[in-house]
């Protein structure tokens, strides 16, 4: 069905074929250009298609090329506009287009992961969990005229990200061009997505009366770390109720009065840590309306620990996919680059779900490295696109979800997990104090090694 050349890629790099099939199904050029026309407010298409800009940037994000310029040079035969036109299009992409791109791809991939049976157990039984957190893009280079006279790090933007931890999918990104904006200013757009039966996890930046009331109004519940500025009233004494992995757990009933006078009756769970946090904190206070009959206080504390899943996702986006391109100084371009990386992250989430379905969830979660999966993609994907005829790739667009899942399972059986195995390092050694001699700013590594060998060999 797929041809002999395609079969060779299936045998040698099934992971690349899996990612390619996901992108071809969800983000083929026709769908991308249609998405752009639906999401854009002011931009329009003249000669350069949105799908072409996405394709160029995705090659950089996935490590196939080191820069937009390099990707453009390699695609000159297919692109009829100048490099300046490419950058002009990229620099003007509205944040709403980037947000729509993430939302659409996540919506299309949810049923695929569900059909694969690749969902993890819920954080709290009976609730669909979502985790929300902010992400500030790293400083860019000082390429813009406005930046050349300042030594301060230029911040190209910030975003709120919503993660589904059961599927490891990023469902929503709320991009903002102002790198100084407070995360709370963006949270109203996230609350619009809250639904009944959901459990939201968030840190103390989101602990406001507006957020707590907004979630409960929509029938959702939450476990949110308490902010010290939140006004609240204790309705009972703080009592020790048990132990969890991180320390002792205490609980008390409390009340929060909303700005319109409504009262929220909550549980205040206090975790007294066995080891202080990096900031030196010894206790964490959590607020939740979850009934005690459904989940005990120790389980509330452990459930909140699942919030770190989104921090791991941010780390993967930075280390495995190049979500922060420091050459993109314009905020809209930088934010779009981040969202393209999110799309690639979601495609890899489907691959991991297929691998869990075939090789077992525990094996994949503990033994398979996302870094090596991304490295395989960077080294092979571009060659596969050149070698495989477009009409062979289009077959994935016409499949039903069960048919597509069957193909992913078949491809996952070809994957040799040993090629992607994690290598855990031992505990870090303490960094020794370094000496600096202004008269000897350099050393010869070879001479230092030779001196070491002399010391070892001498009696």
Taking only the tens place, the pLDDT of each residue in 64-106 is: 888 999 999 988 888 889 999 999 999 999 999 999 999 999 9
CA 387 to each of CA 9, 53, 62: distance values in angstroms, whole numbers, following the listed order? 9, 22, 19
CA 422 to each of CA 364, 368, 370, 425: distance values in angstroms, whole numbers, following the listed order? 10, 6, 9, 10
- Residue pointed to by tokens 């820069």: 67
Confidence of residue 384 (pLDDT cuts 50, 70, 90): confident
DSSP annotation of 135 = E
Burial class (CB in 10 A: 0-12, 13-18, 19+), 287: buried
Helix, strand or coil, per DSSP, at residue 130: strand
Name residues whose C-beta falls within 8 Å of residue 299's C-beta, 6 or more positions apart in sequence: 124, 244
In whole angstroms, what separates CA 146 from the centre of its chain? Answer: 30
In whole angstroms, what separates CA 134 from the centre of its chain? Answer: 11
pLDDT for 396: 87
> Rounded CA gap, 33 and 54, in Å?
10
Taking only the tens place, the pLDDT of each residue in 263-322 is: 999 999 999 988 888 888 889 999 999 998 889 999 999 999 888 888 888 888 888 888
pLDDT for 2: 56
pLDDT beyond 70 at 147: yes
pLDDT for 107: 94
pLDDT for 264: 92
CA 274 to each of CA 141, 197, 283, 328: distance values in angstroms, whole numbers, following the listed order? 42, 33, 9, 43
Q: Are 164 and 130 in contact (CB under 8 A)?
A: yes
> Rounded CA gap, 312 and 53, in Å?
28
> Rounded CA gap, 133 and 229, in Å?
19
pLDDT for 325: 87
Question: Looking at the DSSP assignment, which residues form a beta bridge with residue 293?
Answer: none
Torsion of CA 301, 307, 309, 313, to 10 degrees: -170
pLDDT for 45: 81
Q: Are 266 and 289 in contact (CB under 8 A)?
A: yes
- Please provide the DSSP assignment of 319-374 as one string: HTS----TT--SHHHHHHHHHHHHHHHHHHHHHHHHHHHHH-HHHHHHHB-HHHHH
Over its C-alpha atoms, the chain yields an Rg (Å, rounded) of 25
Average pLDDT over residues 47-63: 90
Q: Are 61 and 341 in contact (CB under 8 A)?
A: yes
Q: How many residues in the chain?
A: 459
Confidence of residue 457 (pLDDT cuts 50, 70, 90): confident
Angle between helices 83-91 and 50-61 (to 10 degrees): 90
Confidence of residue 406 (pLDDT cuts 50, 70, 90): very high
- Please provide the DSSP assignment of 232-257 as one string: -EESS--EEEEEETTEEEEEEEEEEE
Top-confidence range, 191-195, 299-303, 323-327, 429-433: 299-303
> Rounded CA gap, 196 and 30, in Å?
34
Confidence of residue 125 (pLDDT cuts 50, 70, 90): confident
> Rounded CA gap, 14 and 8, in Å?
9
Q: Which carries the bigger pLDDT value, residue 170 or residue 391?
A: 170
Q: Are 132 and 200 in contact (CB under 8 A)?
A: yes
Confidence of residue 386 (pLDDT cuts 50, 70, 90): confident
> Rounded CA gap, 74 and 56, in Å?
10
pTM for this model (two decimals): 0.90
DSSP annotation of 136 = E
Q: Where would I find the beta strands (DSSP E) of 84-196?
A: 128-136, 158-164, 169-176
Mean pLDDT (the chain, rounded): 89
Confidence of residue 379 (pLDDT cuts 50, 70, 90): confident
pLDDT for 459: 63
DSSP annotation of 41 = S
Average pLDDT over residues 211-238: 93
Q: Which carries the bigger pLDDT value, residue 10 or residue 105?
A: 105
Percentage of the residues of the chain whose pLDDT score is greater than 70: 99
Average pLDDT over residues 338-363: 92
pLDDT beyond 60 at 413: yes
- Residue pointed to by tokens 């696109």: 385
């Amino acid at each position: 069905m797929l041809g002999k050349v395609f079969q060779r890629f299936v045998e040698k790099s099934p992971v690349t074929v899996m990612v390619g099939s996901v992108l071809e199904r969800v983000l083929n050029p026709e769908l991308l250009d249609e998405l752009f026309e639906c999401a854009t407010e002011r931009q329009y298409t003249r000669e350069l298609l949105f799908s072409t800009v996405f394709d160029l940037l995705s090659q950089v994000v996935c490590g196939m090329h080191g820069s937009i310029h390099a990707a453009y040079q390699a695609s000159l035969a297919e692109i009829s506009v100048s490099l300046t036109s490419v950058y002009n299009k990229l620099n003007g992409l509205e944040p709403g287009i980037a947000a729509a791109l993430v939302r659409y791809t996540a919506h299309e991939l949810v049923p695929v992961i569900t059909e694969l049976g690749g969902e993890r157990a819920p954080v709290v039984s009976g609730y669909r969990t979502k985790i929300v957190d902010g992400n500030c893009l790293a400083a860019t280079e000082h390429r813009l005229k406005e930046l050349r006279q300042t030594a301060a790090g230029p911040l190209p933007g910030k975003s709120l990200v919503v993660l589904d931890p059961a599927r490891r999918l990023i469902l929503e990104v709320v991009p903002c061009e102002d790198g100084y904006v407070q995360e709370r200013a963006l949270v109203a757009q996230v609350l619009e997505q809250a639904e009944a039966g959901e459990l939201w996890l968030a840190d103390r930046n989101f602990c406001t009366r507006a957020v707590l009331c907004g979630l409960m109004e929509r029938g959702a519940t939450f476990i949110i770390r308490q902010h010290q500025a939140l006004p609240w009233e204790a309705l009972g004494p703080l009592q020790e109720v048990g132990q969890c992995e991180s320390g002792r757990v205490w609980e008390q009933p409390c009340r929060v009065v909303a700005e319109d006078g409504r009262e929220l009756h909550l549980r205040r769970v206090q975790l007294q840590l066995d080891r202080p946090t990096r900031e030196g904190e010894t206790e964490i206070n959590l607020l939740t309306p979850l009934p005690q009959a459904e989940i005990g206080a120790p389980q509330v504390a452990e459930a909140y620990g699942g919030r770190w899943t989104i921090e791991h996702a941010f780390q993967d986006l930075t280390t495995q996919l190049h979500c922060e391109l420091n050459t993109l100084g314009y905020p809209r371009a930088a934010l779009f680059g981040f969202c393209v990386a999110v799309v690639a992250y979601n495609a890899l989430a489907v691959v991991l779900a297929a691998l869990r379905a075939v090789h077992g969830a525990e094996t994949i979660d503990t033994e398979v490295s996302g870094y090596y999966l991304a490295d395989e993609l960077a080294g092979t994907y571009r060659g596969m696109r050149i070698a495989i005829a477009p009409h062979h790739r289009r077959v994935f667009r016409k499949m039903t979800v069960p048919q597509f899942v069957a193909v992913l399972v078949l491809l996952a059986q070809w994957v040799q997990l040993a090629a992607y195995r994690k290598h855990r390092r031992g505990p870090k050694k303490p960094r020794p104090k370094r000496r600096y001699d202004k008269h000897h700013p350099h050393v010869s590594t070879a001479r230092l090694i030779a001196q070491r060998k002399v010391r070892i060999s001498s009696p």
